[in-house]
Amino acid sequence: MDDLDVTLLDLFTAEPRIGVLEASRRLGVARGTVQSRLDRLAADGVVTGWAPHLSPEALGYPVTAFLTLEIRQGAGHESVADHLAEVPEVLEAHTITGAGDMWARVVARSNADLQRVIDLVLDDPAIVRSSTVIALAEQVPHRVLPLARASLSGAGGRPRRPRRPPAAPPPTRRPAGPA
């Protein structure tokens, strides 16, 4: 990760469909450079995919709510997670700190429909209790890019390749040199 990487991510986040060639033109670098950077970002796991972003709202699910689930002592999280995964309205779920708790993001067609979704979610004997909060407005839309920028300047900007090993033992490199 260096400055060029972040600029690249910036550009592709703003205009994902431009393609490698166009990106290289805009950034004033060679096409091969953009290509190799992109490959490396993917290989490093920084870019996890290029899947389309879908809007639950546009799909008819404008209501978002956060559920906190209390899991019965002794019950595995796994089974609850499996149960949650089967409910399409559950967009995301985590285990969290606390007494066997889980957290889930769900969506619904309306406030009334939310009841149906909650009932679906709670239909698991391992769930002891739950609390629901409804999301009213998305004040900060989901984003990661600022973090990428911060990861540079912020914490010293680890070079993409750990190319500065303090004590590199001379590995008798290639006793039989090429040609």
Binding stretches for DNA (CB under 7 A) = 4, 17, 19-22, 28-33, 35-37, 161-165, 168-175, 177-178
- Which residues from 54-93 bind its own copies, rule CB under 8 A? 54-61, 64, 66, 77-78, 80-81, 84-85, 88-93
The DSSP element (H or E) to which 84 belongs, if any, is helix 77-85
- 31 vs 72, beta carbon nearer DNA: 31
Residues 1 to 60 in contact with its own copies, rule: CB under 8 A = 1, 9, 12-14, 16-17, 44-60
Of 36 and 79, nearer to DNA (C-beta) is: 36
Residue 155 touching its own copies (CB under 8 A): yes
Report the alpha-carbon angle 157-160-166, nearest 5: 85
SS3 35: helix
140 binds its own copies (CB under 8 A): yes
* Residues 35-60 as b or e (16 or more Cβ within 10 Å = b): eebbeebeeeeebeeeeeeeebeeee
With beta carbons less than 8 A apart as the criterion, state whether 71 and 102 touch. yes
Which one, 155 or 168, has the nearer CB to its own copies?
155
112 binds its own copies (CB under 8 A): no
